[in-house]
């Protein structure tokens, strides 16, 4: 079985400060891990993906995530938040050979001016 | 290039009715998946189709069905609608059904059941 736990339902930061969105996963097999972002009334946009290559993954818009197998974590970070980063973020896992993506419950990021 | 397109964008139905949602994948993508996103939750997997065959099914009742056409577009059908079917229905496409391939999502169809 596979599952994803996003440890914070809401995160609020000030513009220009670092962002940390936390994700822990559980998977029976070597997983593929993704972060998606969803702006209001929009679909999901892929930020980055981990597929057993480098453990530090760089994505779009300055985001990056680090895969830590020993901690079963895949936290998303950004050095400096921008107002346009305000959105819902989903950590997603897919085990090798599985068809479906399994989504976390999401973290809503607020960016204060 | 156009992304994943879904139609309609919004739909209002009443309990007991039937609905058909449509999805056109990114050009060249042969795999289409459907997800249901209830307000305040993450998306839940409904179906995956690849080369017109069902390759995966989530934990949804038989009222939900889907198909994929020769041009790789897809339809999701829901019969005997219930209030709990109110959700954003997302379609995603990928080149193949391999797990390393990222899925690209459309903007969804917002279905409201009265």
The pLDDT of A44-66, averaged and rounded, is 91
Tell me, what's the pLDDT at B70? 95
C-alpha–C-alpha distance, residues B20 and B11, integer Å: 10
pLDDT above 80 for A5: yes
Q: What is the mean pLDDT of residues A107-111?
A: 97
Distances A88 to A28, B50, B65, B78 between C-alpha atoms, Å: 27, 29, 29, 27
> What pLDDT sits at residue A35?
97
Looking at per-residue pLDDT, the higher value among A52 and B68 belongs to B68
pLDDT on residue A100: 82
Delineate the domains of chain B, giving CATH numbers in brackets.
5-98+106-113 (2.60.40.10)
Q: Is the pLDDT of residue A82 over 70?
A: yes
A–B CB contacts, 8 A cutoff, strictly below: 58
Q: Which of B42, B47, B51, B96 to mutate to test the interface with A (most CBs of A within 10 A)?
A: B42
Q: What's the average model confidence in pLDDT over A80-105?
A: 90
Q: How confident is the model at residue A99 (pLDDT cuts 50, 70, 90)?
A: confident
The sign of the dihedral angle between the CA atoms of B78, B84, B90, B93 is negative
Query: Under a CB-based contact definition with an 8 Å cutoff, are residues B102 and B2 in contact?
Result: no
Q: What is the mean pLDDT of residues A70-84?
A: 95
The Cβ-side half-sphere exposure at A18, using a 13 Å CA radius, reads 7
* Nearest-neighbour CA in chain B from A28: distance (Å): 14
Q: Using 50 as the pLDDT threshold, list the residues of chain B that sit under it.
A: none
Which domains, and CATH codes, for chain A?
1-62+94-100 (2.60.40.10)
Contacts of A42 in chain B (CB under 8 A): 107-108
Q: Where are the beta strands (DSSP E) in B1-114?
A: 5-7, 10-13, 19-24, 31-37, 44-50, 53-57, 64-68, 74-78, 87-94, 104-105, 109-113
Coil/strand/helix, residue A67: strand
The model's confidence at residue A42, banded by pLDDT at 50, 70 and 90, is confident
A32-46, A76-90, B15-29, B78-92 — which is least confidently predicted?
A32-46
Strand order of the sheet with strand B64-68? B5-7, B19-24, B74-78, B64-68
């Amino acid at each position: 079985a596979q599952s994803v736990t996003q440890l914070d339902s809401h995160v609020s930061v000030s513009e220009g400060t670092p962002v940390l969105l936390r994700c822990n996963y559980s998977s029976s097999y070597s997983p593929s891990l993704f972060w998606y972002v969803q702006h209001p009334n929009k679909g999901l946009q892929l930020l980055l993906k981990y597929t057993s290559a480098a453990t530090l993954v760089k994505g779009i818009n300055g985001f990056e995530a680090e895969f830590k197998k020993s901690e079963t974590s895949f936290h998303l970070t950004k050095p400096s938040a921008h107002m346009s980063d305000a959105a819902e973020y989903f950590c997603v896992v897919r085990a090798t050979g599985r068809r479906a993506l399994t989504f976390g419950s999401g973290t809503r990021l607020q960016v204060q001016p | 290039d156009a992304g994943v397109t879904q139609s309609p964008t919004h739909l209002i139905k009443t309990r007991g009715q039937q609905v058909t949602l449509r999805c056109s994948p990114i050009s060249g993508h042969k795999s289409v998946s459907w997800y249901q996103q209830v307000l305040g939750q993450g998306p839940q997997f409904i179906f995956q189709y690849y080369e017109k065959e069902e390759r995966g099914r989530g934990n949804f009742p038989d009222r939900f069905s889907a198909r994929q056409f020769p041009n790789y577009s897809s339809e999701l059908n829901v019969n005997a609608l219930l209030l709990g079917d109110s959700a954003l229905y997302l379609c995603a496409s990928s080149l193949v059904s391999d797990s390393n391939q990222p899925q690209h999502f459309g903007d969804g169809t917002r279905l409201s059941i009265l």
